[in-house]
Each structure stands twice: as C-alpha cells, then as structure tokens.
Amino acid sequence: MSTSHITLPICLDKEELNRLLAKRVPQIELRDNLKITNITLDGQDSQFILYLEVTGLYNGMVTMFFTPRFVKDNHSLILDDLRLEMEQKGLLSKGINWMINGVMKQKIEDAIQSQLDKKLKEIVSNYLKQEQKIDLPDGIKGHITVDNFDIVELLFTGSNLKILADIWGDIAINLDTQKMA
C-alpha cells in the first residue's frame, strides 16, 4: 500500500497537557545545587510561558518566555526569543538572577528544549496511535494508520494547545454505497 500524507491539527487541553508533562518529565539537574522539579506550560497564540519550579541554591519559580519553532531537517524543537524571569526578589536575587540569565541560561534552555522536544513527540505519538475518530457523513468511513509524523506548529487557542502535525501513513476513506443510496 502506498504512503499518504495529511496535515492534521491535534488539540490538547492545557490541564491534560500539564498533567502528562508532570508525569513524563523527570527532575532536571542543572548543577549540583540547582534542579528543576516541575514544569507547567501555558501561553497565548504562538507565545509560550513555561513555569519552572526550581529547588536548591534558589527555591522558587523561574518563568521562561519563548516562541517554539520546529526545524524539519532534523525534526527538532527550537526555543526562539527566550527570556527568563525570577519570581522572587530579595537580597540575593540580583546575583541569582545574573547566574540564571547568564551562566545557567544556555543550560536551562538546552535541558528544557530537549525535554519538551522529546515529551511533546511522545505525547503526539501516543495520541496518534489511538484510534482516531473523524466525523464523516453517514456511509463514509475514515481510517488512519500513522507511520511517521512531524510537528509543524504549536499554538495556544483558548484553553487548548493546538499541535499542527504532518502525518505519513495509511490514510483511507471507504464508501459504503448501500448506505449512501
């Protein structure tokens, strides 16, 4: 059978997405005394906000602002326009903020980029492996078996994350002529 191609939007509820991320993303050790223990994803349109719970040298929340972009050549996620902000202010916050935005920024970006890339692909893959139900008129049945996919775009719409995916595989539409007559 020949391989077909289709681009489909996949919508995931933000709460469900964050539940899946919390379950799948391990603690990320940035250095001996600094770990990311939890992440929560939010955003609006193409602007994403990632809340990072950090423990160790700094205990609190680091907020990460970025625009996700997927590179088709190597099938990877890039975090464009990355900006980090600390939640707490205080006596040591200036030095810690310098460390997080200077020395640790690239390490945080690499770790989060790698984990988000891997976990989003896992979530989409698991979603696509489930039986997909597409509403079609009576007498028409659709069937999709996914061989491969690429994430093309991520976009927040209301309380959902819309993942636009290019899908290759067995895509068939069957007609039941007796029901259509």
134: DSSP letter: -
- Cα 165 to Cα 2: distance, rounded to the nearest angstrom: 20
Q: pTM score, two decimals?
A: 0.79
- pLDDT per residue rounded down to tens, the chain (181 residues): 568 888 888 889 999 989 988 888 888 888 788 888 899 999 999 999 999 998 887 788 889 999 999 888 887 888 999 888 877 665 555 666 666 666 677 788 888 888 888 888 888 888 887 755 666 777 777 777 888 889 999 999 989 999 999 989 887 777 776 665 5
Alpha carbon distances (Å) from 45 to 77, 80, 85: 17, 14, 20
Q: What is the pLDDT of residue 54?
A: 85
Q: Which residues pair with 163 in a beta bridge?
A: 10, 154
Residue ranges covered by each domain of the chain:
13-126, 132-180
Predicted pLDDT of residue 99: 62
| Helix (H) or strand (E) run with residue 114 in it | helix 105-129
What would the DSSP string read from start to end of 76-98?
Answer: EEEEEEEEEEES--STTHHHHHH
Q: Are 38 and 26 in contact (CB under 8 A)?
A: no
What pLDDT, on a 0 to 100 scale, did the predictor assign at position 161?
93
Contacts of 35 (CB under 8 A, 6+ apart): 27, 28, 29, 54, 55, 56
Reading the block at residue 22, the tokens are 């919390």
Q: What are the structure tokens assigned to 178, written together? A: 């007796």
Q: Are 43 and 17 in contact, with CB atoms under 8 Å apart?
A: no
* Element holding 166 (H helix, E strand): strand 160-175
pLDDT value, residue 51? 93
